[in-house]
Amino acid sequence: MMRYAKSVCRWPLAWMILALPLMVGCPGEVPSGGNGAAGGNGETKRIVILTNGDDPFWDACEAGAFKAEEELGLAEDGLAVTFERADFTVKGQVDKLKQYALQSDIVALGISVYKPDSKQIADELRKLRERGVKVVTIDGDIDREQFRDARFAYLGTDNIVGGRELGRATAAVLPEGGQFAFFVGSTSAANAIARMQGFIEGAGPAFEEVTRLEDGGDRPKARKNVQDALDQYPEIDALVGIWAYNTPQIVAVVEDQNIRDKTKVSCFDAAEISIREMKDGNVDVMVVQNPYQMGHVGVRLLKAMVEENQEFIDEMYPDYSQEGEGDIYRTELRVVVPDEGSPITPDLFEEGTTFMKLSEFEEWLAERNLTSS
């Protein structure tokens, strides 16, 4: 919403003065409906991106979304991007979806679903679609078995593959195997389930999961979970962060307990703090998604859907179908390791995964004016 407000505030002052009589001359006027036709009556229509919560991961997604807004010249087409963050609760997302249903300027929504098996979220998404709002899921999909019809398509990481890559990397730094624990915001989120399952597959039978603990997005609880796991299972060999903010909490506890020499740290995503900690030798591997791409491509797709640009939609989903993987668009995946001393090598990973040393990854970020991914 803040970004939308900024776009309004960029209007030249003189224009604002000239427009003021017209604006005050229409008190209480309700914007017209007609979702799907962008800017036809001069009213700016909004493409909304709604996250599952507030996490550094979403900073890059937001940057990508607004870059797409700029590159595509959305303002000229009567469109604007709004980027909103939920609060890691079903209620938080449902409340926002109900608000969107009352706002006639919203024509498209990209949502990272917090709880994929939530009937409430699925019902609200269906209501938006029935009103003509274009809906896709980004990063976190709805339960495809039950609620696939609640959105048009999904775009984001193949989380099973991402989990496997993290498991393979962890096996490389612990060739004898060992015990590990997962730390995540929600153990029932679709991306979390897939990543943890993938990790188990990639790490192999020499590894044993001792616990998986969720924190609901609460940072103090995330840190306490790490402490509790180490108290209960002091022989843990690897601590695995599934969501971006888990890594700094893991590193802090490892430093407090001075156990870095016997504990490996493997994680998803590259929060700014996590990058710094890898540089300082406190993180062994990061499997990094491309949230910038998710935001950028997500806005491009939603714009195409609003404008019924079937050619663009077909390019992204050439075999579109709400069965199999016809409605799934995969975004990029990277494995990032320290510049020196890592036993992790590029040959361990699938063909579509990019392998980078930390300094290479930092250059990639700098080229996009990003500090995290």
Write out pLDDT tens, residues 73-108. 999 999 999 999 999 899 999 999 999 999 999 999
Report CA-CA distances (Å) from 246 to 50, 217, 240: 21, 9, 8
Report the SS3 class of residue 91.
helix
Angle at 202 between CA 208 and CA 274, to 5 degrees: 85
Rounded-to-integer distance, Cα 36 and Cα 134, Å: 8
CA 58 remoteness from chain centre = 6
Q: What residues contact 318, with CB distance under 8 A and at least 6 apart?
A: none
Neighbours of 359 (CB within 10 A): 12
Rounded-to-integer distance, Cα 265 and Cα 138, Å: 27
Q: Please identify, in words, the CATH class of the domain defined by 45-156+291-330.
A: alpha beta
Average pLDDT over residues 229-250: 96
**Does position 157 have pLDDT exceeding 80, yes or no?**
yes
In this predicted structure, what is the pLDDT of residue 40? 44
**Does position 28 have pLDDT exceeding 90, yes or no?**
no
Q: What residues contact 276, with CB distance under 8 A and at least 6 apart?
A: none
pLDDT in tens, 325-370: 899 999 999 999 999 999 999 999 999 899 999 999 999 999 888 8
In this predicted structure, what is the pLDDT of residue 371? 85
Q: Are 44 and 105 in contact (CB under 8 A)?
A: yes
pLDDT in tens, 44-62: 999 999 999 988 889 889 9
Task: State percent of the chain over pLDDT 90.
Answer: 76
In this predicted structure, what is the pLDDT of residue 17? 36
User: Tokens representing 160?
Assistant: 């099973």
Which amino acid is residue 263, in one-letter code? T
**Does position 225 have pLDDT exceeding 50, yes or no?**
yes
**Confidence band for 41, pLDDT divided at 50, 70 and 90:** low
User: Tokens representing 172?
Assistant: 């490389």
The domain limits of the chain are 45-156+291-330, 159-288+333-367
In this predicted structure, what is the pLDDT of residue 323? 87
Neighbours of 286 (CB within 10 A): 30
User: Tokens representing 68?
Assistant: 């797409």
**Does position 34 have pLDDT exceeding 80, yes or no?**
no
Average pLDDT over residues 224-235: 97
Rounded-to-integer distance, Cα 289 and Cα 334, Å: 6
Average pLDDT over residues 309-331: 95
**Does position 4 have pLDDT exceeding 80, yes or no?**
no
Look up the CATH number of domain 159-288+333-367: 3.40.50.2300
207 phi/psi in degrees, rounded to 5: -110, 145
**Mean pLDDT, the chain, as a whole number?**
89
CATH topology identical between 45-156+291-330 and 159-288+333-367: yes
Report the SS3 class of residue 69.
helix
User: Tokens representing 261?
Assistant: 């020499």
**Confidence band for 310, pLDDT divided at 50, 70 and 90:** very high
**Confidence band for 300, pLDDT divided at 50, 70 and 90:** very high
pTM, entire model: 0.75
**Does position 42 have pLDDT exceeding 70, yes or no?**
no
CA 340 remoteness from chain centre = 29
In this predicted structure, what is the pLDDT of residue 96? 98
Average pLDDT over residues 297-309: 98
In this predicted structure, what is the pLDDT of residue 189? 82
For helices 358-367 and 272-279, give the axis angle rounded to 10 degrees.
Answer: 150
Q: What residues contact 224, with CB distance under 8 A and at least 6 apart?
A: none
